[in-house]
Structure 1
Amino acid sequence: MSESLHTHAPHEEAAHLAAESPAHKHSLSQWVAIFTALLATIGAVVSYQGTHLMNEVLLAKNEAVLEKAKATDQWNYYQAISTKEHLMQLAVDLTPQKQAEPYQKEIIKYTSQKKTVQAEARQLEQLSTAANMRSEQLNRPHNDMAIAMIFLQIAISLASVTALTGRVWLFGMAMLSALGGVGLWLVALGMS
């Protein structure tokens, strides 16, 4: 008696297992695979958009800091001019009337300079405030995109567990999580 051992190639074995498994499991596995691939694709897009938006937030915040630093420099310059103006006023008060004319001319010059410097400082502060507001406005949709990514990742995890366990209710939970993520993403897109 001769017994022969016959082995199947991996692709034949997979086809054999697929033929033995119930149709609904195979169908569920296919749906889970397609669903997971779609979520991964959407997740990649959301991640890219979120990263791009965060870069915009950081650029606006950097602009706000830069304009605030320029405004601070202008206010320091304003203080220096004010100090010079006060020194000239002191010189006028301590100098005989006949010799005070050059100091009075300096006071007029410094008064004029202060107005210009003050206007520039206020304008720079407004630019800083506007950049800060733009940064905050851009950050709101970024937060929604980050939360959307969390929901999409939860959906992918639930879909993976569905593939392992065959529990259809988990797939339903994955779909709900995915809908929440896609909904937040769409809201974030509308805000940006």
Structure 2
Amino acid sequence: MSGNGFHVHGPHDHELEHAAQHEPKGMAGQLAVITAVLATVGAMFSYMGGATQANAALYKNDAAIKKTEASNQWNYYQAKSSKQSLAELALDLSSSEEQRAKYRDKIARYDKEKNEIKEKAEALENDSTEFNHRSDEQMHQHHRWAQATTALQISIALAAIALLTKRRWMKGATLGVGAIGVLLGALAWFHV
């Protein structure tokens, strides 16, 4: 390059411009396209893996909340049982029929309240179990996405090795491992 904005291209510059303007050919061009496709698919798989992991954590959190609510209901149930037991003791110790009738009513009321509380506690425990099941399903799916992403990353690394060594069998290995990654991604997609 000279001073007054005049620029002279060398033969190497011309070749680089020519290569950049035309479609890449040969194994290097094919590996570049394969790598780009694998990286794109891998990015999508990675996103899905992160999303399923986040969903699993949310479901696990919901399960813990429902379990705590169920525990609170069981504590309430125990309190009602204690009151019922005290009313039964008072019934046994009462001498007047008026007092005995009052304690019989309390016992019946506590028994009814306990049954309602028990149903609510059991429903909350069922909800907790369902959220845990959903969390487990999401974690299984997350592991599939992670396996698929890992296979695609290995495939990209094999593509780089194939490019450096110019070994055709490495290109085949790149495609094979990439196909395994896509298969694992399909299994994740279909929840297998």
TM-score, structure 2 as length reference:
0.86
Query: In the aligned structure 2, how far is the partner of 1:35 from the partner of 1:137?
Result: 32
1:44 maps to 43
Residue deviations 1:148-188, cap 9 Å, x none? Answer: 11100000001011111211111111111000000010111
- 2:191 counterpart of 1:161: no
Q: Please list every run of 5 or more consecutive structure 2 residues that lacks an aligned counterpart in the other structure.
A: 1-7
Query: In the aligned structure 2, how far is the partner of 1:9 from the partner of 1:43?
Result: 39
- 2:10 counterpart of 1:8: yes
Mapping 1:41-120, distance limit 5 Å:
41-98=40-97, 99-120=99-120
Query: In the aligned structure 2, how far is the partner of 1:70 from the partner of 1:140?
Result: 27
Query: In the aligned structure 2, how far is the partner of 1:11 from the partner of 1:102?
Result: 104
Aligned residues: 180
The one-letter code matched in structure 2 to 1:150 is T
The one-letter code matched in structure 1 to 2:155 is A
Query: In the aligned structure 2, how far is the partner of 1:165 from the partner of 1:15?
Result: 25
The one-letter code matched in structure 1 to 2:143 is N
SS in 2 for 1:191: coil
2:129 maps to 129
SS in 1 for 2:190: helix
1:149 maps to 149
Q: Please list every run of 5 or more consecutive structure 1 residues that lacks an aligned counterpart in the other structure.
A: 1-5, 19-24
Query: In the aligned structure 1, how far is the partner of 2:32 from the partner of 2:118?
Result: 64
Query: In the aligned structure 2, how far is the partner of 1:93 from the partner of 1:9?
Result: 111
Query: In the aligned structure 1, how far is the partner of 2:45 from the partner of 2:69?
Result: 36
Q: What's the Cα RMSD here?
A: 2.1
The one-letter code matched in structure 1 to 2:32 is A
Query: In the aligned structure 1, how far is the partner of 2:113 from the partner of 2:93?
Result: 24
Query: In the aligned structure 2, how far is the partner of 1:76 from the partner of 1:8?
Result: 86
Q: CA deviation at 1:26?
A: 5.2
Residue deviations 1:14-67, cap 9 Å, x none? Answer: 369x7xxxxxx9511111111111111001110111111112211211111111
Q: CA deviation at 1:134?
A: 1.5
1:22 maps to none
The one-letter code matched in structure 1 to 2:178 is A
